[in-house]
Structure 1
Amino acid sequence: TSLLEGLSGILKSNGDDTKLDVIVCAAGGFQMDPKMPYPTHTHDEVCDIAHNYSESIEQMLQVNLHPPLAANFAAHQHMNADGLFVIIGATAALNATPGMMGYGISKLAAHHVVYTVGETTLKSNVTKAKRKAMQPVRKHAPYLDTLSVVGVLPTTIDTPANRKSMPDGNFDTWVQPDDIAKEIGNWTKTPSLRPHSGALVKVVRDKTGAAFRLVR
């Protein structure tokens, strides 16, 4: 609600008819799962570990799933025609994530937002039957006719926080934030360059900077 209220206030200050052309949900976070208990732990210690584990999962859902859900609600209220809605996911969540269950689950759920909302639009690549089934949804949300929803799934992004948490990482293989921003800018300026709505696009570092590969 804070996001929606703040956004509504900003847009209203620019005029009642002000809409958004693009929403990029880049909020997120990462942490490893707490270690599981050993047979030597006492009952109280096991309970403490279970509590920490539960809190860890909840925190990952709060930072990685709740923002895309809130951004989707904002899009429903404020998106312009031919809009672009981008959610930053994670390549890691395309596979099993041992040792980081909370992170993997939360990012996979964010991907689910991408293709669920994406399939309600007319820009998706679903079957005619599915598209027809979504007509009642689009009837009350005309912006969905021309909306493009895309999930951008980087490998590790080269940020100060990631460098601090992974000082031994190979920074040369990390994706630069500017490369992601540049591609989103291209999609914004030229809608024909956008992937289909509901697409998941993997981003990896290559010799030219970054390569964007469709994975769904």
Structure 2
Amino acid sequence: MNHTPTSRTVVITGAAGALGRAVAQQFLDEGAQLALVDQDEGRLRSVFAGRADMSPHQLVAADVTSEAGMAAAAVRIEQALGRVDVLVHVAGGFEMGEPVHALSRAAWDRMMNLNAWSFVAVTRAFVPQMLGDGAGKVVAVSAGSAVRGAAQMAAYVASKSALQRLVEALSQEVRTKGINVNSIAPTIMDTPANRESMPNADHSAWVSTAVAAKTIGFLASDAALSIHGQHVVVGA
């Protein structure tokens, strides 16, 4: 894949998670300056100690579902690092749930807030600056399961499907203004949490975080300038 190693500024949400760490390493290897966003600054400092816990990189504690919180984070990041070139929205959530006929409003709201509304709050914070600059890349992390319903996963699948529609809509709105908006849609990610929850599964078919991060790196590169509103499925 043809990447674009530069001193670009890259914002990564959900940076302290397994995939977020791999994405951060991908862009560190490219020489980017990073703004790493997660809920807990202490966890960020622990995860990125010795790698991205000092200038010019920024560690930012913020709630991705909060418009005010993300607006404040964007001001801090832009003051410290200048323009944002790439926004990678990794943050999200997964949980098994009730069947549709017994689905609780709390479970529905939790998944919709984490996986769909968060994309609105995060892009609201950073896309206006990209529009002003006439350039930018937005990459979200969707899921291969977003294409159809699944038992006991209604809220999760619906929220990831909603995220894909938001990605497509934003792409239609900004593609003529120099901004690429796409997502990756992994099948099952090979993470410690997934291994713990599915100990008897065939892990060999799962998607490594490094492979997913490389795919994100491609979508954020100049090699992907003609790709708009797509969901790149990663995995079998």
Q: TM-score, normalised to structure 2's length?
A: 0.65
Q: Which residue matches 2:128?
A: 77
Which residue type is aligned with residue 98 of structure 1?
A: A
Post-superposition CA distance 1:31-68 (Å, at most 9, x none): 1122578xxxxxxxxxxxx5x72211111112111221
Deviation at 1:146, TM superposition (A): 0.6
Larger mean CA deviation between 153-162 and 66-75 belongs to 66-75
* Structure 2 counterpart of 1:201: 232
Deviation of 1:194 (Å): 4.7
Contact 2:145 2:157 in 1 (8 A): yes
CA contact (8 A) 1:119 1:198 kept: yes
Deviation readout 1:84-140 (Å, 9 max, x if unpaired): 1001111111112222110011001100111000111335xxxxxxxxxxxxxxxxx
Partner Cα separation in structure 2 for residue 97 and residue 86 of structure 1: 25
For the pair shown, which has the larger CA radius of gyration, 1 or 2? 1
Task: Give yes or no for contact 1:21–1:81 (8 Å, CA) kept in 2.
Answer: no
Corresponding residue number in structure 1 for 2:169:
116
Taking the aligned partners of 1:6 and 1:204, their CA distance within structure 2 comes to: 33
**Equivalent pair of 1:64/1:107 in contact (CA under 8 Å):** yes
**What is the Cα deviation at residue 201 of structure 1?**
1.3
1:90 to 140, 143, 154: 143
- CA drift of 1:192 comes to 3.0
Q: Aligned runs of 1:102-141 on 2, under 5 Å? A: 102-122=155-175
Superposed, which structure 2 residues align to 1:14-93 within 5 Å?
Answer: 14=81, 18-34=82-98, 53-79=104-130, 80-93=133-146
Alpha carbons 2:188, 2:207 under 8 Å: kept? yes
Partner SS state of residue 4, structure 1: helix
Identity of aligned residues (%): 28
Contact 2:138 2:220 in 1 (8 A): no
Deviations 1:138-166 (A, max 9, x none): xxxxxxx1100001100011111111222
1:155 and 2:187 equivalent? yes
Residue 214 of structure 1 corresponds to which residue in structure 2? none
- CA-atom RMSD in angstroms: 2.0
**1:2 corresponds to which residue?**
69
> Structure 1 pair 5/153, CA: closer, same or farther in 2 (3 Å)?
same
Mapped partners of 1:25, 1:198: distance in 2: 15
Q: Does 1:183 align with 2:194?
A: no
SS at match of 1:87: strand
CA contact (8 A) 1:33 1:102 kept: yes
Contact 1:121 1:197 in 2 (8 A): no
State the distance in 1 between where 2:226 and 2:94 align. Answer: 27
Q: Kindly indicate whether the alpha-carbon contact (under 8 Å) linking 1:150 and 1:198 is maintained by their aligned counterparts in 2.
A: yes
Amino acid at match of 1:59: R
Gaps of 5+ in 2: 1-67
Aligned mate of 2:196, from 147, 164, 167: 164
Equivalent residue pairs, number: 167
